[in-house]
Amino acid sequence: MTQAAQNMTTAQSTLPRYKAEMGPTPAATRFNEELIEAGYKTYNFGHGAEQESPEDVASEILSRKFGLLPTSEELRAYVKEILSLKPKYNQLGGAVSTKQATADWLKRFFGIEGTVGLFPTNGRAMLGHGWSWLAQLAREAMQPNPCVLVPNTRWPMIDAQTKRKGLALVDYQMGAEGLAEQIEEALTNSQGRTITAVYINSPHNPTGMIVTPEEMGRVMTVLEKFNTNEEWLKARGGVKVALCIDNPYFHALQRSANPRQGYLDAGLANVLRPDTATPWYAPFSFSKALASAERGVTAFIAHPETYLAFSKIINEDLGPAHDKHFFSEMMAKIFAPEFDEAVLEYFADLREKYIANHATLKRIFGDAVVQWDGSMTCLVEVSDDMFGRQVTGKTGTRIIKDLNDFIEFAGQEEGIVVVNNTMKTGPSYLRFAFATQPDRFAEGAEKLDGLYKLVMGSPKI
């Protein structure tokens, strides 16, 4: 057995088996610990780390990596500055303003200097879903002439910009099977463009596209094939292709009784680099991941404090509080540097959906709703009174002992993705991901309301 093979075998054997009885959040925490124990270099700013101590974990990692950690007040102020229509950035137009604002951010908070290209990421990720797009821009700033393989987002301004820039577009949202083949075809026919990353958004959202462990394993195999092809790498200056997974939701909704192990079995061998047994890329639960072959696993995610502030700015300070013309133009300037009437109409329609979705949430949950992003998620405060109840639903009878039990119950009963945002101090929150499109937000909220009523109407034991 070669040394590389021994390294790979050792790394796999040192990863303890995923425990099915664990909820998704502690499982994410434990998985991060397992990777570290196996010798991987990880930075997990995701929900798994937050459950332990978000301030301590994020502060320590950011300070060590970048030497500077912005306070929540600085973050809030800077986000608002970026998204405002002040002449400082927007007098130059959307594309220039976004590039300049992001370049300022990278230099100010992360010490990264360089020219920032406009990354045509999934618009939903930019609408209150964290800072994954910023991580992608950071990657662009550090590499010459990058090109990113992106999905067809169904957002007219993003897709149009993608095509104008000549980037590869993979239309995988109509079905998960065949995703690996589409990626392979795009990489094969890249025609001289240097594709530095494959960006996959929400591949395990039960209300959207489901990417099976087997298909994700095939994706990893395809990328490994290209990343180990010396002739192909030489022709593109040695730049390898990274896998960027935005909000993967790899958890208990998988049909397997052991969902974590399913992903490990399907993809771990292809994730490990043959020479050092360190990962090319590794999907993280609940992380906006930018994973590079050279730097191990890197996950950037906003702290809930930042998430709340960002969402409030988008949806309240600059959103439906203004008339549709202002809102449409503002959104277009932020997300669509070259926009037309169709884009403005799209945002005007989106604004109406946001308003309707907010009304639905308020009607169902009242003051318990402390945050919402209008299209896909909301943050709801949870009472301890819902715990300790024996609930009988479509999938059988179980006791809801804690938040993790409710998370798994929601997934099994209605296919609702729930992220546990419990903090050590203060109230408990749940962040619900209802759907991949604003049109289905109310549908998800109604399902969640039914789950709440079912649980709260069940007897205490």
149-191, pLDDT tens digit by residue? 444 444 444 455 445 544 445 544 434 467 788 778 878 876 5
Confidence of residue 407 (pLDDT cuts 50, 70, 90): low
Which of 280, 302, 324 is where one domain is finished?
302
Claim to verify: residue 10 and residue 144 sit in the same structural domain: yes
Which of 302, 331, 365 is the C-terminal boundary of a domain?
Answer: 302
Question: Which of 50-64, 306-320, 347-361 shows the lowest mean pLDDT across its residues?
Answer: 50-64
Residue 319, in any domain of the structure: no
**Statement to judge: residues 387 and 287 lie in one domain:** no
Same domain, 391 and 287: no
Same domain, 115 and 213: yes
Domain end call among 302, 337, 353: 302
Backbone angles phi, psi at 137, to 5 degrees: -65, -35
State whether 43 and 144 are in the same domain. yes
User: Does residue 297 sit within a domain?
Assistant: yes
Chain segment 197-233, per-residue pLDDT in tens: 665 554 444 334 455 556 666 776 787 788 788 998 8
> Residue 320 domain-assigned?
no
Beta bridge partners of 417: 433
In whole angstroms, give the CA distance from residue 147 to residue 193: 7
Burial grade of 39 (CB within 10 A; 0-12, 13-18, 19 or more): middle
Question: What was the pLDDT predicted at 326?
Answer: 61
Pairing of the two strands 369-372 and 195-201:
unpaired
Token look-up 């002439």 returns 145
Which DSSP symbol is given to 90? H
Domain assignment of residue 356, yes or no: no
Q: Are 283 and 418 part of one and the same domain?
A: no
Mean pLDDT of the chain: 50
Residue 210 pairs in a beta bridge with: 204
Per the structure, the count of domains in the chain is 2
Per-residue buried b or exposed e for 232-252, using 16+ beta carbons within 10 Å of the residue's own CB = beeebeebbbbbbbbbbbbbb
Phi and psi at 150, nearest 5°, equal -120, 155
Per-residue pLDDT band at 451 (split at 50, 70, 90): confident
Dihedrals φ, ψ of 244, to 5°?
-110, 115
Q: How far apart are CA 231 and CA 234, in angstroms?
A: 5
Task: Supply the pLDDT for residue 392.
Answer: 92
Per-residue pLDDT at 333 exceeds 80: no
Which among 59, 71, 61, 140 is positioned nearest to 108, based on CA atoms?
71
- pLDDT above 90 as % of the chain: 2
Q: Is 391 within the bounds of a domain?
A: yes
Report if residue 331 sits inside a domain. Answer: no
In a domain, 14, yes or no: yes
Q: Is 339 part of any domain?
A: no
Report whether pLDDT(426) > 70: no
Residues 31 and 179 reside in one and the same domain? yes
CA–CA gap between residue 294 and residue 37 (Å, rounded): 19
Tell whether 252 and 383 lie within a shared domain: no
Same-domain status, 276 and 382:
no
Positive or negative CA dihedral for 20, 21, 25, 31? negative
Nearby residues of 262 by Cβ (< 8 Å), 6 or more positions away = 213, 254, 256
Tell me whether strands 297-299 and 396-400 are parallel, antiparallel or unpaired.
unpaired
In this structure, the answer to whether residues 295 and 380 fall within a common structural domain is: no
In degrees and rounded to multiples of 5, residue 249 shows phi and psi of: 55, 45
Residues 171 and 263 reside in one and the same domain: yes
**Calpha distance 30→5 (Å, rounded):** 25
Q: Residue 297 has what pLDDT?
A: 21
Predicted TM-score (pTM) of the model is: 0.39
- Lowest mean pLDDT across 94-103, 150-159, 268-277, 352-361: 268-277
403-to-28, 260, 275, 307 alpha-carbon distances in Å? 15, 19, 41, 21
What pLDDT, in 10s, does the model give residues 276-298? Answer: 322 223 222 222 222 222 222 22
- Provide the domain limits for residue 403: 376-461
d(CA 373, CA 11): 40
Is the domain of 21 the same as that of 148?
yes
